[in-house]
């Protein structure tokens, strides 16, 4: 009943959700025949369904390169994340990972569930990697080497200052932005973007994930993963894990708002990066995750549930973002709408309220100055819409029948 209740509350989610379901089915039918490529694309769907959808925007050659770039870095991240692997074992693997991707015989047992399968059968990834063009290989190797070194550094070092936080996020995500810019350039699709803007694209996504995943990371077994910088959280509590306790709820929310405000500093760079993109497929590939990030930050801001469970955008809203994002006008509109939602939640008594409002209003001015705000569908409902519930249920049943028929159709 939960899904039906959400549909009744947001009936305009239904059509985008159906389109998303159909797109997901199409991806399953387009898995390449070669065993190594079949493994890569199947594994991509298992470790990130959203990325597997977004990557479909790209042409075949670039899509293959980005798919492998993602899986190589996901494997590297699996090594870093596995807290059961001893530091003296983990660090040398991280430092040498950029060489392992050229060796189809290499694998390392770590991780859990789908990530364990990725690591156990990494030879498929290496085999596919060796089929890429030299320009793609060199870009992926370079970023993997730099990221592995950065991860190794922060296994031996805690995130103390905001500078440390920015440096860590650069290694694990900013470098992804730099790498993707290199792949777009190697494909002859885009000019090479500046390192600064590319880095901000990665940092905005990574900081959003770190904020959203606080509870999962702090409860990690056998050892907590702690990425929030001490310079921020120590203003509110004595230990980072104290934020999850109910008696610290007020301080926890203030700390959360401080973290969100820190992330907002990257918004303007992200808009500049996306505005410079020329290829429509690359644009959509880059824009959808950024819109999801500002949407997630708006949801997390001033929300104690970040310390109690999972906070994420509803699937119907995600489907809308994927369906609607086609041009820079759509991006400006989405950033304006989600930043408006965040702005409406700012408590004037919050210690960082002035800084938060300043950053939100700066990006809203950029969006207004674009002249795009009158050209898009808003993500904000201006009033409670009245719908005939019987009609909505009937529509939902019809769409469910269509989807069931499509799902039952034999695969080609």
Name the residues annotated as catalytic.
168, 212, 225, 285
Alpha-carbon dihedral angle through residues 348, 351, 355, 356, given to the nearest 10 degrees: -60
38 token code pair: 């079949």
Query: DSSP secondary-structure letter at 248?
Result: G
Give the CA distances from residue 360 to residues 127, 156, 198, 294, 390, in Å, rounded to whole numbers and listed in that order.
46, 35, 21, 11, 40
249 token code pair: 């709820």
Please report where in the chains the tokens 């792949």 appear, as a residue.
Answer: 183
How far apart CA 360 and CA 364 sit, in angstroms, is 6
| List of residues 6+ apart from 52 with CB closer than 8 A | 27, 41, 44, 45
Alpha-carbon dihedral angle through residues 287, 291, 297, 303, given to the nearest 10 degrees: -150
How far apart CA 344 and CA 347 sit, in angstroms, is 8
Q: What is the distance of C-alpha 22 from the center of its chain?
A: 22
3-state class (DSSP) for residue 140? helix
Give the CA distances from residue 387 to residues 10, 11, 96, 369, 397, in Å, rounded to whole numbers and listed in that order.
10, 8, 59, 35, 16
293 token code pair: 């990030």
How far apart CA 317 and CA 13 sit, in angstroms, is 7
Crossing angle for the helix pair 328-344 and 315-324, nearest 10 degrees?
150
């Amino acid at each position: 009943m939960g899904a039906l209740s959400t549909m009744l509350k947001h009936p305009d989610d239904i059509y985008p959700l159906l389109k998303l379901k159909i797109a997901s089915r199409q991806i399953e039918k387009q898995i390449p025949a070669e065993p190594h490529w079949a493994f890569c694309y199947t594994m991509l769907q298992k470790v990130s369904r959203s990325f597997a959808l977004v990557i479909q925007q790209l042409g075949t050659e670039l899509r293959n390169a980005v798919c492998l770039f993602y899986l190589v870095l996901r494997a590297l991240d699996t090594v870093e994340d596995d807290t059961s692997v001893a530091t003296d074992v983990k660090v040398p693997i991280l430092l040498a990972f950029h060489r392992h991707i050229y060796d189809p015989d290499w694998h390392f047992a770590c991780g859990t569930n789908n990530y364990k399968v990725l690591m156990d059968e990494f030879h498929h990834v290496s085999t596919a990697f060796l089929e890429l063009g030299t320009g793609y290989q060199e870009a992926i190797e370079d970023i993997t080497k730099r990221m592995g070194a950065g991860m190794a550094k922060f296994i031996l070092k805690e995130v103390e200052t905001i500078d440390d936080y920015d440096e860590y996020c650069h290694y694990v995500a900013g470098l992804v932005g730099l790498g993707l810019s290199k792949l777009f350039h190697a494909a002859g699709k885009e000019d090479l973007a500046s390192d600064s803007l590319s880095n901000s694209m990665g940092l905005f996504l990574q900081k959003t994930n770190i904020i959203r995943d606080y509870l999962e990371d702090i409860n990690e077994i056998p050892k907590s993963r702690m990425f929030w910088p001490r310079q921020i959280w120590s203003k509110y509590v004595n230990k980072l894990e104290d934020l999850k306790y109910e008696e610290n709820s007020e301080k926890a929310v203030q700390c959360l708002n401080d973290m969100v405000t820190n992330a907002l500093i990257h918004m303007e760079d992200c808009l500049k990066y996306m505005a410079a993109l020329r290829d429509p497929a690359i644009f959509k590939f880059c824009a959808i995750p950024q819109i999801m990030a500002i949407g997630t930050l708006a949801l997390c801001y001033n929300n104690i549930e970040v310390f109690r469970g999972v906070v994420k955008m509803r699937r119907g809203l995600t489907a809308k973002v994927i369906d609607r994002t086609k041009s820079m006008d759509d991006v400006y509109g989405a950033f304006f709408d989600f930043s408006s939602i965040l702005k409406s939640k700012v408590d004037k008594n919050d210690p960082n309220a002035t800084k938060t409002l300043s950053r939100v209003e700066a990006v809203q001015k950029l969006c207004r100055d674009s002249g795009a705000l009158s050209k898009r569908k808003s993500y904000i409902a201006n009033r409670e819409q009245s719908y005939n519930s019987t009609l909505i249920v009937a529509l939902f049943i019809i769409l469910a029948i269509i989807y069931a028929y499509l799902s039952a159709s034999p695969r080609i």
